Structure 1
Amino acid sequence: MDSIQEILYSLPFLTITSAILAYVMATRLNLYPVIINISKTKNLMDEPDDKRVRTDKVPNLGGMGLFITFSLTLLLFVPFLKNTVLELSHLLSMLSATIILLFLGIKNNIVLMTSKKKIVIQIIAVSMVCILQDVRISDFHGLLGIEELPYFASIAFSIFVFVLVINAVNLIDGIDGLAASISILASLGFGIMFYMADNYVMTLMSAILIGSLMGFLKYNLSADSKIFMGDGGSLIVGFLLAYQGIKFMNINPENVQFYNSENSSILLLAILSYPLFDLLRVFIVRMIQKKSPFVADHNHIHHRLLRLGLNHKQATLFLLASNLTLIIITYFTINLPINLNLIVVVSFGCVLYLLPYLSVFEEFK
């Protein structure tokens, strides 16, 4: 009996079971078909315009399904985690922040909001975890010559990172499967690190998010029952990736034996490299063209791949492979001095992500 209980409470069993349950909940309970039907009935659809890749109406409340599968599965596994009252309060504040971001995204899909209002609400949501949970980046470990940050600088910078990642993920949600696939890769990377460090809560969170996203992908890539993540989905997924990333940077170094924990910030940049690189490149291009950095256009890397003749799945696979390649390169160079490691990762990242812009590819269009 004790051996069975030991297996049930073991981290490998809980990790695999939680991911499978999240996927089953998303695909076998008619959750997304119901959301799709409601969206069509109430005309809550992604309307095609000159900024959209598609020309047909598609339901865009996929974020609701993602939130339901993620939050319910996480709550179902809470009794297995042997949490303290403090840890439970942290989970509740994290879920509260996702609820705020979910409704912000849904409202923006229905009634377009100004960028200023969206940023303010995002700051309020992420402040709940940065201040109440103390989830923050406190030490740069010598990156760019910066060591430990003062408390208020740490809070301000952490809020900035949250908002940056949230909006970066939101911006790459432009073609079928891309945002979900990149987020699965990122969560898998974080999850492996948490698993190796025996962090039960964060390992399960990563696994549940992976299962939830895989369930969503089944419908996002479907020809007959397609649904988009929408702003509600991309905002909460971006938030959860930033949450995992900052928690990853705060893993106890004593629990890390398979990589240089002093360079964890570089590995974090590699894991989230595609959405961050695409956001930075698009903002720079828009400012050079004297446009608002917040105005949507067709200047993302995935748009370039579509113009070269790739379909949505091929473009997604290309960018997923590029991101994975950069993560592998970073892992094998992680023992370099931190600033040299940053130069290596940024250099390889520029090569990988700007490859589609080489004129030679026009010949194969």
Structure 2
Amino acid sequence: MHILYFFLFFVGAYILTYLTIPKIIGLVEHKKLMDQPNKRSSHIKITPTLGGISFFYTLIFALFFLKGWDKYDEAIYFIPGLTILFIVGLKDDLVVLSPYTKLIAQLVSILFILSNESFMIHSLNGFFGVYEIPIYVYYIVGGFMMLTIINAYNLIDGIDGLAAIVGIVILMIYTTIFYITNEYFYVLLCLTLNGCLIAFLSFNLSSSRKIFMGDTGSLIVGFIIGTLTLKFLALSPESYDSLPFLLENVPLIAISILIVPLFDTARIFTIRLANKKSPFSPDRNHTHHILIDYFKISHKQASFIIGGFNLIFVIIFILLGSSSYNFYLVLILIITVILLGYLFYRFDYSFTNIKRKIIFRNKIDIFKSEVKKGGEKLMPKTKKKRKSK
């Protein structure tokens, strides 16, 4: 019976999103609400945005039918947060808002989730020897974690397909986790949003019917992923018994699931602060920008490479987490982050110099070829003059 519901929610979300996105594209084009490319953009022509509108109403419809599946009335707690982020994201896509306005809206949205008993983290289950945690620590850590995830996901929405593919990978993993732990409300929520993202991806990667999810979509998806992460950490110890990794490794598994947005955000913020800029100031130092700029690969290729890395990294960590304890997993995580950070640090700080060298070398080659051509043109004339003498 559950399989039938899984199928209906996934297919229903896919169809609803797939059929309504063309209407959104038509409206956006008619009202000229297109995304204008700038010097940081990875696209060169004006493109419809606001694809995230379809995520909002699909999730609201799904939550209405999901209200009987939740144990702590979670469905009703999602709606205010989603609505606030939808309005703020929509306005930011139409009229750019300040980062601090969006930050306040995110905090208010997060408070609705934190106030529900289902998401309360009472223990870290022995992670580095920590068990019970005070309620105020839960609010601080839970709020900071969700805020980080929302903004991290928002930041990776920089090239075609990336945010959708990474979102699909993360939701696939959470679907599996919540299915194993019998949390069917969250399984259906994951399948609903995954149906939206897969339908959206076919348009986002299209050359003729392209649309961006915009902040309208990335804030909503980031909010759902943040909430799912909070729920994953708040599961009862008995629920973890059915999962294929040690109980104390749960926080590290959560980090591995979100490795792509978290790593990119940490790296970007570090670079911006090192350059004495605001951490929210836009630039082209993202991991996906370096891949397409340095390796000259397409948006689609870069998105699938990053999404594939995310999936492989999670599988490796789950396998290691089944036998290794905190210290070894943390050591592996730190080494991986340092290696990736150093790799992209080198690209980031030497990329400009390399580019300058290439441009300079090309100019020298052009100059040499022009001199050579000029010499070849002059040589016959010189010979003719010698003959005339």
TM-score with structure 2 setting the length: 0.84
User: What CA distance in whole angstroms lies between the structure 1 residues aligned with 2:49 and 2:210?
Assistant: 9
Of 212, 224, 228, which residue of structure 2 is paired with 1:244?
228
**Correspondence for 1:206:** 190
Question: In the TM superposition, what are the counterparts of 1:75-90 in structure 2 within 5 Å?
Answer: 75-78=64-67, 81=69, 83=70, 86-87=72-73, 90=74
Q: Is the contact made by 1:305 and 1:356 (CA closer than 8 Å) also made in structure 2?
A: no
Per-residue deviation at 1:159?
0.8
Per-residue deviation at 1:357?
6.4
Larger displacement relative to structure 2 (348-357 or 111-120): 348-357
Per-residue deviation at 1:138?
3.5
SS in 2 for 1:107: helix
User: What CA distance in whole angstroms lies between the structure 2 residues aligned with 1:344 and 1:233?
Assistant: 33
Per-residue deviation at 1:40?
1.4
Q: Which amino acid in the other structure matches residue 310 of structure 1?
A: I
Larger Rg: 2
Q: Is the contact made by 1:74 and 1:208 (CA closer than 8 Å) also made in structure 2?
A: no
Question: In the TM superposition, what are the counterparts of 1:197-346 in structure 2 within 5 Å?
Answer: 197-255=181-239, 256-257=241-242, 258-307=244-293, 308-334=295-321, 335-346=323-334
**Correspondence for 1:116:** 100
Question: In the TM superposition, what are the counterparts of 1:71-110 in structure 2 within 5 Å?
Answer: 71-78=60-67, 81=69, 83=70, 86-87=72-73, 90-110=74-94
Larger displacement relative to structure 2 (151-160 or 246-255): 246-255
Of 68, 88, 93, which residue of structure 1 is paired with 2:57?
68
User: What CA distance in whole angstroms lies between the structure 1 residues aligned with 2:288 and 2:122?
Assistant: 34
SS in 2 for 1:100: helix
Per-residue deviation at 1:285?
0.6
Of 131, 139, 161, which residue of structure 2 is paired with 1:177?
161
Structure 1 residues without counterparts, runs of 5 or longer? 1-9
CA RMSD of aligned residues (A): 2.3
Aligned residues: 348
After superposition, give the CA deviation of every residue in 1:174-232 in whole Å (9 maximum; x if it has no partner). Answer: 00010111011001101101001111101111111111110111111111111101001
User: What CA distance in whole angstroms lies between the structure 2 residues aligned with 1:98 and 1:259?
Assistant: 32
**Correspondence for 1:3:** none
Q: Is the contact made by 2:125 and 2:237 (CA closer than 8 Å) also made in structure 1?
A: no
User: What CA distance in whole angstroms lies between the structure 2 residues aligned with 1:200 and 1:120?
Assistant: 31
User: What CA distance in whole angstroms lies between the structure 1 residues aligned with 2:338 and 2:177?
Assistant: 25
After superposition, give the CA deviation of every residue in 1:264-310 in whole Å (9 maximum; x if it has no partner). Answer: 11111000110000000000011111111110000000000011201
Per-residue deviation at 1:340?
2.4
User: What CA distance in whole angstroms lies between the structure 2 residues aligned with 1:101 and 1:180?
Assistant: 18
Q: Is the contact made by 2:267 and 2:341 (CA closer than 8 Å) also made in structure 1?
A: no
Q: Is the contact made by 1:273 and 1:349 (CA closer than 8 Å) also made in structure 2?
A: no
SS in 2 for 1:291: coil
User: What CA distance in whole angstroms lies between the structure 1 residues aligned with 2:136 and 2:160?
Assistant: 40
Larger displacement relative to structure 2 (101-110 or 352-361): 352-361
Per-residue deviation at 1:120?
1.0
Larger displacement relative to structure 2 (33-42 or 178-187): 33-42
SS in 2 for 1:140: strand
After superposition, give the CA deviation of every residue in 1:19-67 in whole Å (9 maximum; x if it has no partner). Answer: 122112212x3x0111111111222221111121112111110110111
Q: Which amino acid in the other structure matches residue 247 of structure 2?
A: S
After superposition, give the CA deviation of every residue in 1:222-279 in whole Å (9 maximum; x if it has no partner). Answer: 1111110100100010010011111111222223323223211111100011000000
Of 18, 41, 66, which residue of structure 1 is paired with 2:9?
18
Distance 1:349 1:325, change over 3 A: farther
Structure 2 residues without counterparts, runs of 5 or longer? 359-389
Q: Is the contact made by 2:93 and 2:215 (CA closer than 8 Å) also made in structure 1?
A: yes
Larger displacement relative to structure 2 (117-126 or 134-143): 134-143
SS in 1 for 2:280: coil
**Correspondence for 1:6:** none
Q: Is the contact made by 1:326 and 1:348 (CA closer than 8 Å) also made in structure 2?
A: no
Q: Which amino acid in the other structure matches residue 239 of structure 1?
A: F
User: What CA distance in whole angstroms lies between the structure 2 residues aligned with 1:259 and 1:123?
Assistant: 32
Q: Is the contact made by 2:67 and 2:75 (CA closer than 8 Å) also made in structure 1?
A: no
User: What CA distance in whole angstroms lies between the structure 1 residues aligned with 2:235 and 2:172?
Assistant: 16
SS in 2 for 1:254: helix
Per-residue deviation at 1:345?
2.6
User: What CA distance in whole angstroms lies between the structure 2 residues aligned with 1:355 and 1:15?
Assistant: 41
Q: Is the contact made by 1:165 and 1:239 (CA closer than 8 Å) also made in structure 2?
A: yes
Q: Which amino acid in the other structure matches residue 156 of structure 1?
A: I
Larger displacement relative to structure 2 (33-42 or 235-244): 33-42
Say if 2:42 is the partner of 1:53.
Answer: yes
User: What CA distance in whole angstroms lies between the structure 2 residues aligned with 1:228 and 1:14?
Assistant: 29
Question: In the TM superposition, what are the counterparts of 1:127-146 in structure 2 within 5 Å?
Answer: 127-133=111-117, 135-144=119-128, 146=130
TM-score with structure 1 setting the length: 0.89
Q: Is the contact made by 1:105 and 1:230 (CA closer than 8 Å) also made in structure 2?
A: yes
User: What CA distance in whole angstroms lies between the structure 1 residues aligned with 2:121 and 2:305?
Assistant: 31
User: What CA distance in whole angstroms lies between the structure 1 residues aligned with 2:127 and 2:65?
Assistant: 40
